[in-house]
Amino acid sequence: MNLRIPSFEVYKSEYQKSVDNPEAFWSEIAQTFEWKKPWTNALSWNFNEPNVKWFEGGSMNITENMLDRHLEERGDQVAFYWEPNEPGDVAKTLTYKELHREVCKLANGLKSLGIEKGDRVCIYMPMTLEGIISVIACARIGAVHSIVFAGFSSNALADRINDAKAKLVITSDGLNRGTKQLDLKAMVDEALKQCDSVEHVLVHKHTHNDTNYTEGRDVDYQSLVDSMDDNCPAEAMDSEDMLFILYTSGSTGKPKGVVHTCGGYMIYTAYSFQNVFQYEQGDVFWCTADIGWITGHSYIVYGPLLSGATSVVFEGIPTYPDCGRFWAVCDKYKVNQFYTAPTAIRALMGAGLEFVTPFKLDSLKVIGSVGEPINDEAWQWYHREIGKDNCPVVDTWWQTETGGIMISGLGSHSPMNPTHAGYPLPGIQPVLLDQDGNEITENEVEGYLCVKYPWPSILRTTYGDHERCKNVYFSNYEGYYFTGDGAKRDKDGMYRIIGRVDDVINVSGHRFGTAEIEDAINTNQHVVESAVVGYPHDIKGQGIYAYVVVDSNEADTAIELSVCDSVSDGIGRIAKPDKIQVVTGLPKTRSGKIMRRILRKIAEGERANFGDTSTLLDPTVVESILEKAK
C-alpha cells in the first residue's frame, strides 16, 4: 500500500481535495486497508459535544493490517532491528513472520489470563521487543493498552492504573538506561499497594535481576508465551472501538487519558508516516522516542508496521557509551530516515563534532525533529553535520491528542524554512485565532493554533471524563479544536510553532502541567505552598523553576533535596525542578491569585519591569524573591 505523495505539486492538489471533500479524500485512502466489514458512514462530527466518528459501521483489526497482510509478500523481511543499551551485547531482529507469531502467542496468553475485548492493560516496559509485542498483542484481542513511560514513579503509575482500572500490568524485571538500571518490577509492586483492579502482573525477564514474585498474581512472560498456540484470530473491532489510552499532562489536575480509536488512527498514522518520511520499501527507519510517548506509539509501532517498514528500536540513550552512539547506530543499520527530539540534538551538538566525524551517515535521506520547537542553531547543526546539507529536516508538529503528525514538510518535496514546521498535511485544517476567537486569515501573523475540521486520528475523549475533553480542547473557542499552542504564519503561509500558551511546561520534549508538579511538591512535609513556572533552558528547551514557601528552619539546600525527592516520588525523576528557590511568600493579588507572570519573568532572568503590579497584596514580596533569585 503506497500512500506516498510524489511531489509538492501533487501535495497542493491533494491538500485541496482533502479540504473540498474530506470524507471522499479519506475514504479513498481507507479503502487501501483491510476491513472485515465496510463502513456505512465516512464521518459524523460535532465539535461542541465533541463527537467525532470516522468510518462508522466498519469493522477491522489494526494488527491484521500491521502483520497478517504483509506475511505473503514480506514475511521474512525484518520488521525490527533491536539495538541494546550496551553496544557489545547481542542485538536482535524480528521478521514480520516472527513478530506475527510472537504477537499471536502473547495474545493467546493474555486471553488465558482472562483479558477480554475492552479490558485495559497497563504496559510499563523498557524499550524491548517484548514491549512492542505486548502493545500489538493487546490490539490483537481488542484489549485497550495504556502504556506508562518507564520513567514515571510508582505513584504516577498507580494513578494511571487506577484511572483506567487496568486488569493486567505487563512489566519487566528491569530496565537499562546508560549506566543506570532500574527495577521496574519493584516499582509495580509498590504501585499495586494502591490499586485493586489488577488481577495479574506479567513479568518479562530482561535484566535477569532478582525480583519479588507474588504467588497467584505474578506470571512469567516467557513461560506463558512458550505454552501458547501461535494462531490467534484477530478480534473484529468497530472502527470507533477504543484502541488505546495514553495519559498526558494539561494545565490543570492530574494527567488525563487521551483516547484513540481503531480505524481513524490506523489510517492517519500510516498516511502521515509514509508521507512525512517519504518511506520507500527497503528503507530503514529509526525513531528514537520511547514507546511510552505518543511518538513511540505512532512512529515506532503503528505507522511503520502498517506500512510494512523496517525499523530500528533502541534500548539506550544518546549519550552512552558516548555522544556518538546515535551516529554509530545510524551507520550500523544504514538508517535512511532518522527521527529524534531537539533536546537530543542540542545535547549532542554541545558534545562537539569529534563524536560525529568518525561516522559516514551517508545512508540518511530524511532527518526529523519532534516534541518541541527547534531553535535555529540546533536546526542548522542538524542539517549541516548530520544531514550533510543533503537531507531535508522535517520539523513535525503534533500532539498526543492529534495521534499523528499535523504540520510538517514531506521529505524533500516541501520548501524548508529553518525552525518552521511548515505546511499542514492533507486533511489538516489549522487556523490561527485572535484573543476574541476570530480567525486571522492574513499571513505574517501570530495567534492561537486551532484546527477547524476533524482528521481521522483526533482524540475522541478523555478516558472516563468526557466533560473534561470538552472543557480542555473544545470550549476555549467554540467550534474549534484548541491545541494549547501559539503559532506564527509567515508570508508564505508556513507555520512556526512558538510554544504552549497554557500552564504546560515542555521539558526535553516531555509535557508537564505546572499544577501537577506543584501538587507533588506540596506533598512535602516542609512545604506550605509552591508555584512552578518554566524558563528557557539551553538543552532541555524549558527548565522547571519552583518557588516554595516552607515552615521549617532547615537549610535551603536540605529543603531543595527534599523537594526534589517529593517530585521524584509523585511524578518521576524526569520532572525534577532545575531550580528551587525557598521564598517567604508568593506574589498574590488581593483576591489571592498568584501572579505567575512575575514569577515567570524572574525565572527568565528579568530583574525589573514587571508591568502593572498595582493589584499585588504585598509588593515587598517581589523584592524579597529578587534578592535570592537564581
Q: How far is the CB of 295 from ligand WTA (least distance, A)?
A: 5
Q: How far is the CB of 506 from ligand WTA (least distance, A)?
A: 5
Segment holding 391, helix H or strand E:
none
**By C-beta, is 63 or 311 nearer to ligand WTA?**
311
**By C-beta, is 167 or 511 nearer to ligand WTA?**
511
- Are 130 and 172 in contact by the 8 Å Cβ rule? The answer is yes
Tell me the three cell numbers of residue 423.
505546511
- Which residues here bind ligand WTA, judged by CB under 6 A? 248, 293-295, 369-373, 395-400, 421, 483-485, 497, 499-500, 506, 511
**By C-beta, is 400 or 524 nearer to ligand WTA?**
400
| 303 three-state secondary structure | helix
What is the distance between the alpha carbons of residues 368 and 394, in angstroms, rounded to a whole number? 5
b/e for 303-327, b at 16 or more Cβ within 10 A?
A: bbbbbbbbbbbbbbbbbbeebbbbb
**By C-beta, is 307 or 400 nearer to ligand WTA?**
400
What is the distance between the alpha carbons of residues 443 and 462, in angstroms, rounded to a whole number? 34
Strands 120-124 and 168-172: parallel
Q: How far is the CB of 252 from ligand WTA (least distance, A)?
A: 16
C-alpha to C-alpha distances, 565 to 63, 181, 573, nearest whole angstrom: 41, 18, 8
What is the distance between the alpha carbons of residues 149 and 276, in angstroms, rounded to a whole number? 25
**By C-beta, is 323 or 497 nearer to ligand WTA?**
497
φ and ψ of 69, to 5 deg:
-70, -15
Q: How far is the CB of 453 from ligand WTA (least distance, A)?
A: 19
* DSSP category for residue 474: I
**By C-beta, is 292 or 324 nearer to ligand WTA?**
292
- Are 403 and 388 in contact by the 8 Å Cβ rule? The answer is no
**By C-beta, is 371 or 587 nearer to ligand WTA?**
371
Q: How far is the CB of 230 from ligand WTA (least distance, A)?
A: 34
What is the CB-side half-sphere exposure of residue 6 using CA atoms within 13 A? 1
Q: What is the dihedral of CA 461, 464, 467, 472, to 10 degrees?
A: -60
**By C-beta, is 485 or 519 nearer to ligand WTA?**
485
**By C-beta, is 218 or 372 nearer to ligand WTA?**
372
C-alpha to C-alpha distances, 379 to 132, 342, 421, nearest whole angstrom: 31, 8, 11
Q: How far is the CB of 541 from ligand WTA (least distance, A)?
A: 9
C-alpha to C-alpha distances, 38 to 195, 233, 589, nearest whole angstrom: 40, 19, 59
C-alpha to C-alpha distances, 278 to 78, 290, 407, 412, 479, nearest whole angstrom: 19, 22, 15, 8, 33
**By C-beta, is 484 or 534 nearer to ligand WTA?**
484
Segment holding 129, helix H or strand E:
helix 129-141
**By C-beta, is 274 or 402 nearer to ligand WTA?**
402
Q: How far is the CB of 186 from ligand WTA (least distance, A)?
A: 27
**By C-beta, is 407 or 598 nearer to ligand WTA?**
407
**By C-beta, is 454 or 484 nearer to ligand WTA?**
484
Segment holding 581, helix H or strand E:
strand 579-583
Segment holding 161, helix H or strand E:
helix 154-164
Q: How far is the CB of 248 from ligand WTA (least distance, A)?
A: 5
Strands (E), 371-521: 393-396, 430-433, 439-440, 445-451, 461-462, 481-489, 495-500, 504-507, 510-513
Q: How far is the CB of 289 from ligand WTA (least distance, A)?
A: 8
Helix/strand/coil (H/E/C) assignment for every residue in 505-521:
EEECCEEEEHHHHHHHH
Q: How far is the CB of 542 from ligand WTA (least distance, A)?
A: 10
| 94 three-state secondary structure | strand
What is the distance between the alpha carbons of residues 130 and 224, in angstroms, rounded to a whole number? 13
What is the distance between the alpha carbons of residues 72 and 365, in angstroms, rounded to a whole number? 28
Tell me the three cell numbers of residue 602.
524572574
**By C-beta, is 274 or 562 nearer to ligand WTA?**
274
Rg (CA), the chain: 24
* DSSP category for residue 232: -
Q: How far is the CB of 368 from ligand WTA (least distance, A)?
A: 9
Distance of CA 150 to the CA centre of its chain: 13
What is the distance between the alpha carbons of residues 369 and 65, in angstroms, rounded to a whole number? 27
**By C-beta, is 58 or 373 nearer to ligand WTA?**
373
Q: How far is the CB of 278 from ligand WTA (least distance, A)?
A: 18
Q: How far is the CB of 400 from ligand WTA (least distance, A)?
A: 3
Q: How far is the CB of 498 from ligand WTA (least distance, A)?
A: 8
Distance of CA 505 to the CA centre of its chain: 14
Q: Position 414: which residue type?
A: S
Q: What region, left, alpha or beta, does residue 135 occupy, with left being phi > 0 and alpha being psi -120 to 50 degrees?
A: alpha
Q: How far is the CB of 174 from ligand WTA (least distance, A)?
A: 25
Q: How far is the CB of 500 from ligand WTA (least distance, A)?
A: 5
Segment holding 547, helix H or strand E:
strand 541-550
**By C-beta, is 35 or 277 nearer to ligand WTA?**
277
